[in-house]
Amino acid sequence: MAYYSTSEFRGGMKIMLDGDPYAIIENEFVKPGKGQAFNRVKVRNLKTGRVVERTFKSGDTAEAADVHDTQMQYLYNDGELWHFMDPASFEQLTADANAVGEAAKWIKEQDMCNVTLYNGAPLSVDPPNFVTLLITDTDPGLKGDTSGGGGKPATLETGAVVRVPLFVQSGELIKVDTRTGEYVSRVKE
């Protein structure tokens, strides 16, 4: 089993705390001039996404978590599980709704996703930062409106709803930033 000491801690490192895998966000060294040194570490629980702060004595260690990121292709959803494939080995695995989470509303077949594996099983799925999706339903915009303040809701082929400018119409492809859930631009075929 690998262990990391507090002086090795850095952003992105995955460690085990209380039996759960966590990602280190921030590691701050605090020490009174004449006293005990500590590391105040901000960590995100990779199962729940919750961010908490943990304090270690400087020099203490934490067990490394068997967590790593891999690029996988989304194949299909069978109604319950999402199926992904490693494009190099063609190995397939399935992720449940808990792991897929928010990504479900952005991904469509053949998209490449970042799948985080914990002990070999999918822990979370991140969609590509930008996806191109078809608008399946939106109110017709007012004629002559070219930019539009405010915009209107549009339903996409994956079921996600985003706000788009008034001039964007049903049947058009748009680019969306999945990190913010915001419309970026129209996409020509």
Least distance from C-beta 29 to other proteins, angstroms? 3
- Residue partners of 1: CB distance under 8 A and separation at least 6: 63, 64
Identify whether the C-beta of residue 165 lies closer than 8 Å to the C-beta of residue 151: yes
List the one residue from 3, 8, 30, 92 that touches other proteins (CB under 8 A).
30
Total residues in contact with other proteins, by rule CB under 8 A: 23
Q: Which stretch binds other proteins (CB under 8 A): 23-31, 70-78, 131-139, 164-172?
A: 23-31
Query: What is the C-alpha separation between 1 and 63, in angstroms, rounded?
Result: 7
CA–CA gap between residue 81 and residue 104 (Å, rounded): 11
- Identity of residue 38: F
Nearer to other proteins, 55 or 98 (CB): 55
Angstrom distance (rounded) from CA 22 to CA 25: 9
User: Nearer to other proteins by C-beta: 9 or 84?
Assistant: 9
37 vs 97, beta carbon nearer other proteins: 37
Bridge partners, 26 (sequence order): 42
Question: What is the closest distance, in whole angstroms, from the C-beta atom of residue 20 to other proteins in the complex?
Answer: 13
Question: Mask 36-55, x = binds other proteins (CB under 8 A)?
Answer: xxx-x-----------xxxx
CA distance 177 to 130: 5
Q: Contact residues for other proteins (CB under 8 A)?
A: 7, 17, 28-38, 40, 52-60
